[in-house]
Amino acid sequence: MRQLRIPFILLASLAAPAAVEGTTYVMVSDAAVAEVRVVEAGPATAGAAPDTDYLVEVERVVQGHLPGSRIVVRVPGGIGAGGVGLRVFGAPEFAPGERALLFLVPGKDGAYRILHLMLGAFHERRLAGRRAAVRELTGAHEVVLGPDGRPTFHERGADRPRDLERFADWLGDRAAGHRRERDYLL
């Protein structure tokens, strides 16, 4: 009868978890995308950081799921307990009555957050008689890597307004697995 000899190092590697090799990542949750109308704004009542809560009415869910027709969207910055204020450059601000297209992720506290801060918030504006989706990038700088790999900074970036209806329809189509050309840029 032959004996099988397995080196100790092989047995040890089978018994203990191996070191992680390759690319590692933290999964981000799927965003819900919705057209909303801001009902009211005020200081967040939960949490220690000064945040602003926006009560919004969901007019159209473009992608994903939202639990009701009204949700709270919490944005970092504002006036907190005791009158302490915090300004977060790039944090979107909304006025009651304003309409927007928002990319939203649920927070652990029941409020929703805007995905990627200002990049996930499109304000509805009228441009040439059309409903347009516009990101507010004033004071922001886009980082672009040059051919040599060095970063350069561009004020306001190259973001273009979008036809709101076509953009929302395009997002809905992508969520449903239908790929088509970007036909929404103005």
pLDDT tens digits along 119-152: 999 999 999 899 999 999 877 778 888 889 888 8
Q: What is the 3-state secondary structure (H, E, C) of 95-138?
A: CCCCEEEEEEEECCCCCEEECCHHHHEEEEEEECCEEEEECCCC
| Greater model confidence, 18 or 153 | 153
- pLDDT category at 1 given cuts 50, 70, 90 is very low
Rounded Cα gap, residues 175 and 62, in angstroms: 8
pLDDT of 84-102, one tens digit each? Answer: 899 888 899 999 999 999 9
Which residues lie across from 112 on neighbouring strands? 73, 106
- pLDDT category at 3 given cuts 50, 70, 90 is very low
Quick one: pLDDT at residue 4?
A: 41
Residue with tokens 């297209």: 101
- pLDDT category at 105 given cuts 50, 70, 90 is very high
Report percent pLDDT > 90 for the chain: 58
| Greater model confidence, 1 or 43 | 43
Report percent pLDDT > 70 for the chain: 82
Quick one: pLDDT at residue 144?
A: 82
Q: What's the rounded mean pLDDT across residues 148-169?
A: 85
